[in-house]
A and B are shown apart, each in its own frame.
Chain A
Amino acid sequence: MNFIDNPRKLRGFERQIKVEKISRRSILKGLGVTGGFVLAAPVISRQALAYETGAGKMPHGVVVDPRVFVSVAPDGIVTIIGHRSEMGTGVRTSLPLIVAEEMEADWSRVKVQQAHGDEVKFGNQDTDGSRSTRHYLMPMRQIGASARTMLEQAAAKRWGVPATEVKAVNHEVVHSASGRKLGFGELAADAAKESVPSIEGLKLKNPKDFRYLGKGQVGIVDLHDITTGKALYGADVRLPGMKYAVIARPPVTGGKLVSFEPDAALKVPGVEKVMQVRGWPWPSKFQPLGGVAVIARNTGAAIKGRDALKLVWDDGPNGKYDSVAYRKELEEASRKPGLVLRNEGDADAALKGADKVIVGEYYIPHLAHVAMEPPVAVADVKGDKAEIWAPVQSPGGTREDVAKTLGIPVGNVTVNVTLLGGGFGRKSKCDFALEAALLSKELGAPVKVQWTREDDIHNGFLHTVSVERIEAGLDKSGKVVAWRHRSVAPSIASTFAAGTVHQAPFEVGMGLVDMPFEIANISCENPEAAAHTRIGWFRSVSNIPRAFAVQSMVGEIAQATGRDQKDMLLELIGSPRMVKPNVKDLWNYGEPYDSYPIDTARLRKVVELVAEKGEWGRKMPKGHGLGIAVHRSFVSYIANIVEVAVDDKGKLTVPRVDTAIDCGTYVNPERIASQMEGAVIMGLSLAKYGEITFKDGKVQQKNFDDFQVVRMDDSPVVTNVYIVPAGPDTPPSGVGEPGVPPFAPALINAIFAATGKRIRALPIGKQLEA
Chain B
Amino acid sequence: MIKVKINGQEQSWDGDPDLPLLWFLRDEAGLTGTKYGCGQALCGSCTVIVDKQAVRACITSVNDVAGREVTTIEGLHPNGDHPVQKAWRQVNVPQCGFCQAGQIMQAAALLMENPKPSHDQIREAMSGNICRCGCYQRIENAVHLASTGV
Residues in chain A within 8 A of chain B (CB atoms): 86-90, 219-220, 222-224, 226-233, 235-236, 238, 244, 268-270, 297-301, 303-304, 370-374, 419-424, 450, 452-453, 670, 674-675, 677-682, 703-705, 709-713, 715-716, 718-719
Closest B residue to A226 using CB positions: B97
Interface membership of B130, Cβ < 8 A: yes
Contact yes or no, B97 A231, CB < 8 A = yes
Contact yes or no, A712 B32, CB < 8 A = no
A452 to B23, CA, bound (A): 13
- Whether A453 touches B19, Cβ cut-off 8 Å, given contacts A219-B92, A421-B35, is no
Contact yes or no, B97 A300, CB < 8 A = no
Q: State the 3 A-B residue pairs at the shortest beta-carbon distance, nearest first.
A: A229-B33, A681-B134, A421-B98
Contact yes or no, B72 A229, CB < 8 A = yes
Closest B residue to A702 using CB positions: B40
For A88, what are the chain B residues with a Cβ–Cβ distance below 8 Å? 94-97, 133
Report B31-73 CB contacts with A as 1/0, cut-off 8 Å. 1111111111011010000000000000000000000000011
Contact yes or no, A422 B98, CB < 8 A = yes
Interface membership of B100, Cβ < 8 A: yes
A716 to B135, CA, bound (A): 11
- Whether A422 touches B133, Cβ cut-off 8 Å, given contacts A229-B74, A269-B15, is yes
A238 to B33, CA, bound (A): 13
A220 to B23, CA, bound (A): 29
- Whether A452 touches B39, Cβ cut-off 8 Å, given contacts A371-B132, A421-B97, A422-B98, is yes
Minimum Cβ distance to chain B for residue A518 (Å) = 34
Contact yes or no, B80 A227, CB < 8 A = yes
Minimum Cβ distance to chain B for residue A324 (Å) = 26
CB pairs A–B below 8 angstroms (16 shown): A223-B89, A227-B88, A227-B94, A228-B73, A229-B34, A229-B73, A230-B33, A235-B26, A301-B16, A303-B39, A422-B98, A677-B135, A678-B133, A704-B130, A715-B136, A719-B137
Within the complex, which residue of B36, B40, B96 is in contact with A419, where a contact is CB–CB below 8 Å? B96
Interface membership of B124, Cβ < 8 A: yes
Among the interface residues A301, A705, A713, which one has the most CB atoms of the partner chain B within 10 A? A713
For B99, what are the chain A residues with a Cβ–Cβ distance below 8 Å? 372, 421
* A-B residue pair count with CB separations less than 8 angstroms: 195
Closest A residue to B75 using CB positions: A229
Contact yes or no, A674 B135, CB < 8 A = yes
Closest A residue to B100 using CB positions: A226
**For chain B, which range describes its interface: under 10, 10 to 19, 20 to 34, or 35 or more residues?**
35 or more
Closest A residue to B87 using CB positions: A227
Interface membership of B113, Cβ < 8 A: no
A interface, by DSSP: helix, strand, loop or mixed?
A: loop
Among the interface residues B40, B76, B88, B132, which one has the most CB atoms of the partner chain A within 10 A? B132
Interface membership of B20, Cβ < 8 A: yes
For B137, what are the chain A residues with a Cβ–Cβ distance below 8 Å? 677, 715-716, 718-719
A268 to B97, CA, bound (A): 34
For A301, what are the chain B residues with a Cβ–Cβ distance below 8 Å? 15-16, 19, 23
A719 to B135, CA, bound (A): 11
A270 to B88, CA, bound (A): 38
Contact yes or no, B40 A453, CB < 8 A = yes
A301 to B28, CA, bound (A): 11
- Whether A223 touches B28, Cβ cut-off 8 Å, given contacts A229-B33, A229-B72, is no
Contact yes or no, B134 A372, CB < 8 A = no
A453 to B100, CA, bound (A): 18
A674 to B128, CA, bound (A): 21
Contact yes or no, A712 B136, CB < 8 A = yes
For A679, what are the chain B residues with a Cβ–Cβ distance below 8 Å? 134
Contact yes or no, A713 B24, CB < 8 A = no
- Whether A227 touches B136, Cβ cut-off 8 Å, given contacts A269-B16, A373-B98, A419-B96, is no
A372-B37, A674-B92, A704-B38 known; 13 other A-B pairs, CB under 8 Å?
A: A219-B89, A223-B89, A224-B80, A298-B23, A298-B28, A300-B22, A372-B99, A373-B35, A421-B99, A422-B95, A422-B98, A703-B39, A712-B140
Interface membership of B138, Cβ < 8 A: yes
Among the interface residues A224, A300, A682, A710, which one has the most CB atoms of the partner chain B within 10 A? A300
Question: Which positions 91-150 of chain B face chain A at CB distance < 8 Å?
Answer: 92, 94-101, 104, 122-124, 126-140
Contact yes or no, A299 B97, CB < 8 A = no
Contact yes or no, B74 A87, CB < 8 A = no
Contact yes or no, A677 B138, CB < 8 A = yes
Closest A residue to B80 using CB positions: A228
